[in-house]
Structure 1
Amino acid sequence: MPDPARPLRFPVHACLLALLLTLLLGEAAAEPLDAPPSSESPAAETGQGELGTSVMVPRLLPATAEQEEAPGAIIAAPEIGDATPEIGDATPDARELPQAPVEEIPTIAVTPPEPLEPPPLKPVEIMLDWYPGPQHAALLVAYHKGIYRRLGLEVTLSTPADPALPARLLAAGRIELAVSRQPLLHLLAGRGLPLVRVGTLVDLPLGGLLVRNGSDSESPFSLAGKRIGYSTEEARELLLPTLLRPHGVGVHELELVDINFGAVNEVVEQALDGIMTPQRLTLPRQLGDEGVGTRLLRLEEHGVPPHEGLILLANRDRIGGQRETLRRVLEALSEATAWLLEEPDAAWELLQEQEPALDTPANRDAWLPMLLRLSARPAALDLGNYQRFEEYLVAQGLAEHPTPAEKLALDLGAP
């Protein structure tokens, strides 16, 4: 038994052996770990690693024939970087995948569609009562600013060869609208013509009697035996008789001269003593430029009732099929008149440019006075005005019985 007092002693060769084993074990621990199997290794080809070292991931691709024969076989998914097989690729060991139906993609037009054709414009002929002048400003502005066309109208403005022609063409159905005067409407309606007022261009009278300065014909009662010119039918049949009757003078006591449109020349060349005119705002200046001074006798100051100076007439028998068209005409005139009253200088410049014949000293002088007489609401109707004028004609013996006001004037804006 060893002596506990003596230290243990190990043989020298045993110590050396232990040291050698320690060195050998240290070198083995310092060697690097083996890398995971690459794609070229047999394990990668089969999709199976060593037990406990690989995760088995199902591959969602058809199995090969051999794999289908092996029960329980798992097909490994491709590693990152593998090319995904294209649908329809033919391989000797893979089935073709069913192709998904190809949806049709809507085509995109590369050129704009053809523009829609605008509706055809409604043709409308409006015949003036005289040569174009400031009194026709609303009609002209609506035409030159394109207001008619914007409202679907193809308007034609025409000038008659005779002042009596427009109303007769209208009664015959040859035109859609005629520019006229209220006294003429009363005269023609009393004769049975199917005419009716549908709009008003000028609210106040434009007619009057011009007499030469210095003559003794400065009042209606002194006109007997004088040479008086006239240009309109109502002047001869209505206005002169109503002007003369209160003074005891008959039309047969005058020498009447039909001057048509040639007022200035006829007054100068035939030395007329006076002229009954529907152009009392422009004719005095025109005669003055020719050296003929005149004095104006206003009809309303000598017993003739106030009346509308310029109106639009339609054929009463054809109103039923024209209401919408006529409303659009009046809408265009209302818009044109509003612009005229707001921009009188611009309106005059427009007419100067588009209607050069209007640019005369007489028309320039009459421009602003005429604007004050324009009807701001062309469709508006004062039916009492027409009734009072009829009653006056009956009282003067110029009509046997009054024509009902409802047959003379129509309010297209009324329901």
Structure 2
Amino acid sequence: MEPEVSALIGASRQVVRRAAAAVFAVSLLAAGCGEGDSAQPGGNAEVRVLMDWFPNPDHVGLYTAQDKGFFTAANLNVTLTPPSNPADPLKLVAAKQVELGISYEPDVLMAAEQDLPLVAVAALVPVALNSLMAVGTSPVKSPGDLAGKTVGTAGLPSDDVYLKQIAAKHGVDLNSVKKVNVSSNLVAAMLSGQVDATIGAYRNIEGVQLAQEGKQPFIVPVTDAGVPEYNELVLVANRDRLRDDAGYRDAVKRFVAALGKGVAAAQGEPSFATTSISKVATGYDAAVIEKMVAATLPLLRNPRGFGRMDPAKWQSFADWLHTEGMVKRPIDAGPLVTNDYVPAE
């Protein structure tokens, strides 16, 4: 294996995530797994946040808020914990074992089939990061070039349905596309020529890595290639606790406000933000981290205002998931998304 390929594989978002999962699995136990005591509105509150995965530039707003002291100023004792499995945040928020979780809009919608008491209370990354990607030496230069090519995915059902939609949108016979499950080895599969393109890599992570290594990647977000718009990362709370617990409602609202300040501070002080995330995002070269943060910050801008989501677009995406067979029954997105906890415009 070429040294540069090995280096990229070692720094890959997904490879590092899986390797880190076992290390961080005990963190949740250290933070405490039982349902927290109800706090008084305005008083000190313990807020355990189970993240979607290990710290990376997607989370720059969280760690900037923490380092700037915005959570402390809001009387919140915040613990940010990576999961041992990306499905854990929704499960443990639903079970009241953590106060908040970070997950993905499609996962929140699909969780509705399990009748979990979950609701998205803020968009952390309001646009899609998942992208159709290929290195410069690949024959794939546009979505229409996928005909007769080999496409690697991480093996997620959502990636399969994204590929189906992209093929249909661009007149590609899906039967002519060879699909390969490369698991976490998306970057390695592209660099080695095992696949002509991938779906599942993030434009602000793997895309930046490939560009930094001079691989001249072709990158198009899945939403630019035919997939309906969605929020990549969302903050999820327990809907029952929001209904029944005034202290919890207040703590969630204070957390979201402090997080919004963190995102604004990161955008205003990119060097501070880079330092904050560099302290916790392991496995990346310092120069690459800086470029990843620079690529991420613009993607955090929300024209509707920090954290705000469009319930109509959530419903459209839910309907699309049902049409594509990702869920067995129609989903009412209404109870699954709210802007009641984001700062006023």
- Cα offsets for 1:291-342 (capped at 9, x unmatched): 7553123222222122222211123333322211211110111121222222
Residue type of the alignment partner of 1:370: T
Given the superposition, is the C-alpha separation of residues 126 and 269 from structure 1 closer, same or farther in structure 2, using an over 3 Å criterion? Answer: farther
The 5-angstrom pairing of residues 221-232 of structure 1 reads 222=146, 226-230=150-154, 232=156
Match 2:309 to one of 381, 384, 409 = 381
Q: Distance in 1 between matches of 2:267 and 2:80?
A: 22
Deviation at 1:274, TM superposition (A): 2.4
Match 2:194 to one of 248, 266, 271 = 271
Residue pair 1:330, 1:378 contacting (<8 A) in 2 also: no
1:16 maps to none
Percent of aligned pairs with the same residue? 25
Match 1:301 to one of 208, 221, 224 = 224
2:28 maps to none
Q: Distance in 2 between matches of 1:411 and 1:330?
A: 11
2:258 maps to 332
- Identify the structure with the greater helix proportion: 2
Q: Distance in 1 between matches of 2:114 and 2:136?
A: 37
Higher relative contact order (CA 8 A, sep 6+): 2
2:118 maps to 195
1:323 maps to 249
- Cα offsets for 1:246-267 (capped at 9, x unmatched): 445448964331523x543454
Unaligned 5+ segments in structure 1 are 1-118
TM-score scaled by length of structure 2? 0.72
Given the superposition, is the C-alpha separation of residues 257 and 300 from structure 1 closer, same or farther in structure 2, using an over 3 Å criterion? Answer: same
Given the superposition, is the C-alpha separation of residues 270 and 366 from structure 1 closer, same or farther in structure 2, using an over 3 Å criterion? Answer: same
Given the superposition, is the C-alpha separation of residues 134 and 385 from structure 1 closer, same or farther in structure 2, using an over 3 Å criterion? Answer: same
Residue pair 1:213, 1:293 contacting (<8 A) in 2 also: yes
Given the superposition, is the C-alpha separation of residues 121 and 299 from structure 1 closer, same or farther in structure 2, using an over 3 Å criterion? Answer: same
Correspondence 1:256 to 2:256: no
Deviation at 1:148, TM superposition (A): 1.4
Secondary structure of the residue aligned to 1:308 is coil
Secondary structure of the residue aligned to 2:299 is coil
Match 1:177 to one of 100, 104, 108 = 100
Count the aligned residue pairs: 295
Unaligned 5+ segments in structure 2 are 1-41
Residue pair 2:101, 2:237 contacting (<8 A) in 1 also: yes
The 5-angstrom pairing of residues 5-404 of structure 1 reads 121-220=44-143, 222=146, 226-230=150-154, 232-236=156-160, 238-246=161-169, 247=171, 249-250=173-174, 254-260=178-184, 262-265=185-188, 267-268=190-191, 271-277=194-200, 279-288=202-211, 292-320=215-243, 321=245, 322-352=248-278, 360-375=286-301, 377-399=305-327, 401-404=329-332
Q: CA RMSD in A?
A: 3.3
